[in-house]
Chain A
């Protein structure tokens, strides 16, 4: 019986195969009577169809990668940054600190959808985008070749949103444990409009003043946000710390981190999320993304070693908080460079940033006595600045031939590559982001101070913000 089935299948299969062969051989005979021109049209149509299919396949790959990257970058804010900062505060303020990160995930999303994206990436002036994408008008599944030709423009929009979320969240480290929640909300809305949107447009928007790829006056290299994200947030953080003043009891009372364990988990999540931040900034699943991924990882590793070693030499012990802070400092510094430098340059940038930020946090802060509670300036402002400048030194046309001459030949990019002038461009970019952050933040602080007041009442600060602002406690052991 079994044998019979095999025979039937065999005969049926052979018959099918033979019929197909006859049909195929019959086709050229039919084609030979067609005119030559229609044959050409058919071939052109076929190759066009093939090209379309290749583009679809690339689009699918790129889009899959970019959506994952967008999710990774969101993970950096919550839970990454929320845990990192949450562990560093005293336990009476842990929820209030996490609430700052989380509320920005919601708040910035809404203003981004309404107008933020348009102000960053709508066509406008050299300094700020226009209103062409108000309410996400024209942001759909069709790619925008100006920014990313292979992924839906909507993917680009949601990916960029995650940057707009984490940037203000970084500032929270400077005013932790003493700012009113209402003041923070108002401050962050204004800050998004006055500092982030113009800076993102200048560096990444088409025709932006500092845009390196799309016709800026001073082409500043900033692959993933050294100026846009880290300098703006870090410098604004310093302004906040100075304007708000010290926490009650600082520095005479001890204020050690209440849980380095939470900070540890947060820092590890930041490290992983940063692959989405930097490698994703290639905006495609290509070789440049891999190069940025590797540079990012190497930068973090070298910086962890740099900070840890510096601490070991000075204090006799390498601390856990030290190596995780170092890794974050390295990730900050490699951010603008990630898509422009090779792996060995990344190791150098990371190591330098690790040692430099350690000195900023442990020596410079103590010297000047400002209370940047969680070192948002010492890590992001300082790390972002040194990273942006070192990008001008190490950027290489072998990694990313961003500058081309009239014939399309690659020109040198960074100082070592043979383009000393790039240092000037980087300096201009750094200077503009510093000035914008300082002036913008001062104006906003003044407005918020007048409207709602910045600091909580002293008794609330002593009680802790969790209870005073949110009516909750992070740890209730009686339950």
Chain B
């Protein structure tokens, strides 16, 4: 089992969801987050006072997947989230120790 975290542009969410659905990824958690990597922020001016806004709104998708789905998922996200500009986001992959379904206490891949 692996955990995948993908930080994407908010505008790409529907494309990414559709692409993941196509390869059979059913569950995910989506978080509204703020942050930045190489992308520089922008400047806002209110009554002559300048504010640098460098933490930009992004979406973070979290999924826990059986190993066989990891590569197709990464491919699907790469294809569907890409706009080619700085700020498209990143994908992180973690090994995962255990997953437990709270309702019936199933464990491992059965819980996914």
Contacts and interface: CB of A to CB of B under 8 A. Distances in A.
A245 interface: no
Contacts of A319: 45-46
A322 B51 contact: no
A431 interface: no
Interface stretch (A60-68, A135-143, A288-296, A361-369): A361-369
Interface string B35-46: 000000000111
A256 interface: yes
B48 interface: yes
Contacts of A361: 47-48
A256 B48 contact: no
B49 interface: yes
Interface size on A, as a range, is 20 to 34
B51 A362 contact: no
A358 B44 CA distance: 17
Contacts of A260: 46
A322 B47 CA distance: 6
A360 B21 CA distance: 57
B48 to A, nearest CB: 2
B45 A315 contact: yes
**Residue among B44, B45, B47, B51 facing the most chain A CB atoms (10 A cut-off):** B47
B53 to A, nearest CB: 8
B45 to A, nearest CB: 5
A461 interface: no
Contact of A321 (B46, B51, B52): B46
A188 to B, nearest CB: 25
Interface in B48-63: 48-49, 51-52
Contact of B48 (A257, A317, A363): A363
A325 interface: yes
Contacts of B49: 251, 256, 362, 366
Nearest to A316: B45
B46 A257 contact: yes
Contacts of B47: 321-322, 325, 361-362, 375
A254 interface: yes
Interface in A310-337: 311, 314-315, 317, 319, 321-322, 325
Contacts of A321: 46-47
Contacts of A311: 45, 48
Contacts of B52: 254
B43 to A, nearest CB: 9
B42 to A, nearest CB: 11
A257 B51 CA distance: 11
Interface in A345-365: 358, 361-363, 365
Contacts of B48: 311, 314, 358, 361-363, 365-366
Contact of B44 (A256, A322, A365): A256
Contact of B51 (A256, A317, A358, A366): A256
A314 to B, nearest CB: 8
Contacts of B51: 254, 256
B36 to A, nearest CB: 15
Contacts of B46: 256-257, 260, 319, 321
B2 to A, nearest CB: 32
A319 B49 CA distance: 12
Nearest to A366: B48
Interface string A245-269: 0000001001011001000000000
Nearest to B50: A315
A358 B47 CA distance: 7
Contacts of A363: 48
A317 to B, nearest CB: 7
A325 B44 CA distance: 16
Interface in A172-195: none
Interface string A408-424: 00000000000000000
B47 to A, nearest CB: 5
A190 B48 CA distance: 34
Nearest to A365: B48
Contacts of A256: 44, 46, 49, 51
Interface in B91-107: none
Nearest to A319: B45
12 contacts: A251-B49, A256-B44, A256-B49, A257-B46, A260-B46, A311-B48, A319-B45, A361-B47, A361-B48, A365-B48, A366-B48, A366-B49
Interface of B: 44-49, 51-52
Given A311-B45, A322-B47, 14 more contacts: A251-B49, A256-B46, A256-B51, A257-B46, A260-B46, A311-B48, A315-B45, A319-B46, A321-B47, A361-B48, A363-B48, A365-B48, A366-B48, A375-B47
Q: What 9 A-B pairs come out closest when comparing CB atoms?
A: A362-B48, A254-B51, A361-B47, A256-B51, A315-B45, A256-B46, A321-B46, A257-B46, A362-B47
